[in-house]
Structure 1
Amino acid sequence: MRTPENVLKIGVLNLMHDKLDTKRRFERILKNSAQPVELTFFYPKDHYQDRPVPAQVAQIARPLELAEVEKLDAFIVTGAPIEKLAFAEITYINELQELFNCLAQNKLEQLYVCWGAMAAVNYFYGVDKYLLPQKLFGIYPQEVLRDSNLLTQVTPGFLAPHARYADIDLTQAKQVPELEITAISQTGEAFLLEAPTRHQTFLFSHLEYGGDALQKEYARELAADPSAKDSLARPQNYYIDGRPQFLWETLQKQFFANWLHQVAKTRQAKELIKN
């Protein structure tokens, strides 16, 4: 069936541990927007080079093929729970970097999330990541440093969820002319960087998370190592009367609506050049 011309075609490289939940989150956010969207989910082939692709992964995603990526309007690279590892230790890092090159060469709108943002900003601009003294985990107020179309109609001092063991070196990022540090958390960690002339957005917050996602992440880590219960980070500023709060829901809707608007504008500009 032919895709209507006004539909934005967006690819997602799903690297998260909870792949089905991640797929559902992006579908819920992007397909419920005013802008019609067609999503295609991919997995990195090199991640499964020595073992069969799990049945659930094969059911919800396709092997990454750059020839397919080139036909899209935009692409999202998700986070991954591997920020403690050096980039060179990642089994699919070469495949990921080939994807980065493809996205840059074809000038697709790119959204890199959490670890995906760390990997991309390191590859393109040499900005290092470093391990935090403890996991940044919970909901925190953010500080906007410069105007951005991505934060149009977003309330100053907005709250956003963070869930990571590492951050990028913002001092290094400040030395890169192409990079704009748009917003940081009030505790000083990265929230949003952009390279507008290169169609790149680096989002270090898990804005795609639903209201129960931080609780699920904590439960997953606790189940993996019950002996670490006393030292394991619990999500901060998240519970009221023991119940998780979806305090970033409005921000989530507005940010992704703004990003889709940016994707549409970029595609429109490309079509004008073609014609």
Structure 2
Amino acid sequence: MKIDVVLTPRLLPPRFEDALCVVIDVLRATTTIVAALANGASEVRPCITAAEARRCAKSENDIPFLLGGERGGLRIPGFHLGNSPAEYHDANKISGRVIYFSTTNGTPALRKAYKGGARPMYLAALVNMSAVSSVIVRAAMNNALKRIFLICAGCHSKASLEDTYCAGLIVPRLQSELAEYGISPEPSDAAILAAEYSRMNVENPLAVLTASEHGRYLESIGFADDLEYASQIDVYDIVPYYDGQRIIIGPE
């Protein structure tokens, strides 16, 4: 089975129906979505624009919702929540609600991957990567797929260190899972490069995030705590799944 790390959504082929996709946006969308679902959000609905999020929320009568997201790293004016995972820890506020969510990099990456034909689609971050790794190999086999794409959301259409690092940590986990089923993994050059970088820095996730371009920017606008949060390894065992409209926990 082929394993590919897509360093930015711009590098995705136009169509890829034969691939299972995992979208990664460590700083911060997929980390925050994991936190929201772990704290009881019923679902997260990714939106490209703030206007789309408001419009969709307005059309849902009698469904409790919150608007979440950022532009330039800061909460969108008029939204209830930003894109800091810490904001999604108040279960009294989050539990049972639909989150209409719009971010600069993560939500466009999700929508683009789904438009390209990816079925099924999952979300990963450092905080849940082992749980995702163990699920997606089974899912790929159950759906008779030939490829696994680890799609890095990147930053403003450029590759990002933190997403590449996370993808590189997932690659050897997938190789081990495939080997248990007697399947030979076929990593792409990008997957090999990402895995080697991650191997060299496996003990220093916070240092990687702090060194990254986007990490430095988030620190400069007051979100240093988010880097510490997002650098945690496997603190959640949930696997977010995207069906083209909503992100929920599972299925496998």
* Structure 1 length-normalised TM: 0.27
Structure with more helix by fraction: 2
Rg (Cα) greater in structure: 1
* Structure 2 length-normalised TM: 0.29
Structure with more contact order per residue of length (Cα contacts < 8 Å, sep ≥ 6): 2
